[in-house]
Amino acid sequence: MTEAVHTHGLFKRYGPQIAVAGIDLVVPAGSFAGLVGPNGAGKTTSLSMITGLLRPDGGQAEIDGFDVWRDPVAVKARIGVLPEGLRLFERLSGRELLLYNGRLRGISKADVEQRAEELLQVMDLAEAADKLVVDYSTGMRKKIGLAAALLHNPSVLFLDEPFEGVDPVSANTLTEVLRRFTASGSTVIFSSHVMDLVERLCDWVSVMSAGHIVAQGPLELVREGRSLNQAFLDLVGGPRDNGDSGLTWLGRGKEPA
């Protein structure tokens, strides 16, 4: 089994706060991997460090066997990224954004134009292709971002919360494209809170909590017969009691303070 992503003791701190506490993230090549964890678990920080957007304080990250920080040319040609926050070049139209992105990576203009046209069709963005990105909705932004990340045919795709704020129709389009992408042997790693979605799509799961990886492996092994949601709550520590101790003031029949 070759590994698409392998980190060794990847570590990041912000002042006294340790965001990522030396993780060994492993993702086998060709898998559809989910990185799950509660808010603040360090998912975004980890993905940023692995994709070379944030400098780690310690540890290494390898993609297809190339060190992210020592061999950036090889790594950047192999990865596609959709970070959180969805900031794109707002004053370009969707089509112009794809053209810029592809040509910046040295693909010839004719090739980029053809690929962009097909991606816009598949993503159902053909009508909005000549509108400025600044006027796109959240779902459209995620789709154009994914299109930009796929344009150079990467072997590993990193997506940070790709389904957050996306309507069901767009989400379906996104999953279709991603399924087709992994079926050809490429790797997808995405972070998410939505356990149902991870359970439905992924064959490999890494669970993060408070900067550590608390479980990692094929979906079936992590689940151990439970639903992924239950397994997740067991792993990261869900509510111990059912909230009986506090919140007595909450609910109908009490005066608003």
- Residue 67 binding other proteins, by CB under 8 A: no
- Residue 87 binding other proteins, by CB under 8 A: yes
For residues 62 and 199, which CB has a smaller minimum distance to other proteins in the complex?
62
Residue list 28-47, contact with other proteins (CB under 8 A)? none
CB of 143 to other proteins, least distance (A): 15
- Residue 200 binding other proteins, by CB under 8 A: no
In order of 56, 60, 75, 156, 164, the CA distances from 209 in angstroms are 18, 20, 27, 24, 20
Question: CA angle 237-235-231, nearest 5°?
Answer: 115
| 159 to 188: interface string for other proteins, x by CB under 8 A | ------------------------------
The encoded tokens of residue 97 equal 């954004």
CB of 36 to other proteins, least distance (A): 23
- Residue 74 binding other proteins, by CB under 8 A: yes
- Residue 9 binding other proteins, by CB under 8 A: no
What is the rounded distance in angstroms from the CA atom of residue 211 to the CA atom of residue 21? Answer: 5
The encoded tokens of residue 148 equal 């930009």
Residue 93 one-letter amino acid = S
- Residue 106 binding other proteins, by CB under 8 A: yes
* Among 104, 169, 183, 221, contact with other proteins (rule: CB under 8 A): 104
What is the rounded distance in angstroms from the CA atom of residue 81 to the CA atom of residue 100? Answer: 15
Question: CB–CB of 178/6 below 8 Å?
Answer: no
- Residue 92 binding other proteins, by CB under 8 A: yes
